Amino acid sequence: MIDSNQKTVIINNIKLRGCSTSTYNLSLLENLKNTVRVNKSCLYKNIECDKDLIVEHLNKRYELAESITDEIYGKKNLLYFSAFLNDDYIDILNMCLNSIVSNTQLIDFDLLLITDSETKEKISSLSVLSFFNVNYMILPPVEDGPDASMKKLNIFDYENINQYRKILFLDIDSLCVMDLNKIFNQQFASNTLYVSRSEFTRMQTLTLIPFGIMHISDKDANFFYSNRSKIMPFNAGQFFMINSLKMRMHFDNVRWLASAWPGPYFYEQSFMNYYFVFRDLVKLLSSDGVNKLICVVGIYWKGERRNFNFFDFFGDPDGTAGTSGSSGTGETDETSDSSGAARFYNHKLTSELKQKRLIVSGASKSNFTKPPPSDFWNNVNISTEYKFHDENSVVIHFAGFGPGPVAKKKYMIEYINKHNLSV
């Protein structure tokens, strides 16, 4: 039984691990410097008191959203993408759309592409679009990948959004391997974001920059502690939601947070995880509550993953129970010398080695901490050693920010060929 003093130690350590100056986040900020961004136009300063003010105001906005009577809009189903940048990304989008056509008996949903005028001209030439009722939401050109990814948050600005009741977002680096209507035909609640995650995602990654904002308040830390049996970070490359008034307000809140936040962030994933997870607004996108309808797989470093009792680690009074190395994927491989935490709780820390499903052959050893240069991915031999999806999978999302679109195409095609997918 954990007494109040022990609980206080754990909560304080959660806050310390989740702050911007923690060893974990400093390491990730270095490794992810090509994809981490800072909002230079916000009015707040990157100091703790300003961050506290932002979180306080965000909580008030959330309370307002929760206090209203919800309203559900529309009748139709909508699938949407955020599609920008170069021709290689358009090739990947073409692969994704063809996989949907190959595996979906009836295209009973509209397709929306959030893009810019120049990219629209290129996309509109894809022959696969003839199978869809296609609409476009035209925005100004983006600066880079993170900027393009953030545009998915603009969905409720779409002029015809009130026509749609069920909304599914997919990143373009996805493949449909089963009828997509299996997702749309599920019955879901209106005030919940339905998400997916990699099988290697761990609860503790909520304290790290790819899944948070590197600022955990007392309220957040207490929520984290009290809900440790169910909370989990998610990959923002896919989500499903009901078009409701509350969900619109939640998305407005996330966008406000992104505009006001003065610290570093990792795509929209940092803001979406912080807002939706810490306010208990997420559930697994699943037909049975267990098996994922969308499997998330990415390029991971070759090596081991060690599991351990997270709250034993945080209970360590002197902070010496564990060390962490970055895998370059936004997740951490945790190890422990079983000294401090086990002594504090009289628990034996255990580890379990898990082989990663999609491995870049020869890309790294287990202690590799920095991504290779970008031109590395153009020639790397990517090895998909195991079948990642199963009989429940409707979509496979090939996540991973390290490689560019050329490498993504390579390992998506290899996966298709290896497992004889009809896409």
What are the pLDDT digits (tens) for 234-246?
A: 999 999 999 999 9
Tell me which residue of 320, 326, 368, 370 sits closest to 341, measured CA to CA: 320
Residue pair 236/211 in contact by the 8 Å Cβ criterion: no
Q: Which residues contact 361 (CB under 8 A, 6 or more apart)?
A: 302, 380, 381, 382, 383
360: pLDDT strictly greater than 70 = no
SS3 label, residue 192: coil
| Residue that wins the pLDDT comparison between 412 and 386 | 412
Give the mean pLDDT of 83-108.
94
Q: What is the pTM of this model?
A: 0.86
- 110-115 and 76-82 strand pairing: parallel
Q: What percent of the chain has pLDDT over 90?
A: 58
Q: Indicate if the alpha-carbon torsion angle 189, 194, 200, 206 is positive or negative.
A: negative
- Indicate the SS3 state at residue 88: helix
Q: Contact, 76 vs 163, CB < 8 A? A: yes
Q: Is the pLDDT of residue 330 over 70?
A: no
Instruction: Tell me the C-alpha to C-alpha distance, in Å, between residue 121 and each of 137, 190, 296, 372.
Output: 13, 35, 30, 34
Other CB atoms within a 10 A radius of the CB of residue 346 amount to 7
Torsion angle defined by CA atoms of residues 21, 27, 29 and 33, in that order, rounded to the nearest 10 degrees: 150
Cβ contacts of 136 within 8 Å, gap of 6 or more: 112, 113, 114, 115, 120
Check residue 341 and give its pLDDT: 33
In the DSSP assignment, the letter for residue 136 is: E
Tell me the mean pLDDT in the region 101-113: 97
Q: Which two tokens stand for residue 148?
A: 């393009």
Q: Distance between CA atoms of 374 and 87, rounded to whole angstroms?
A: 18
Q: How far is CA 366 from the centre of its chain?
A: 24
Sign for the CA dihedral angle at 336, 337, 343, 344 comes to: negative
How would you classify residue 52: left for phi > 0, otherwise alpha for psi between -120 and 50, otherwise beta? alpha
Q: Of 261-275, 342-356, 364-378, where does mean pLDDT reach its minimum?
A: 342-356
> In the predicted model, what is the mean pLDDT of the chain?
82
Least confident range of 5-9, 98-102, 250-254: 5-9
Look at 128-142, 212-226, 369-383 and tell me which has the smallest mean pLDDT: 369-383
d(CA 44, CA 263): 9
- pLDDT for the residue numbered 355: 39
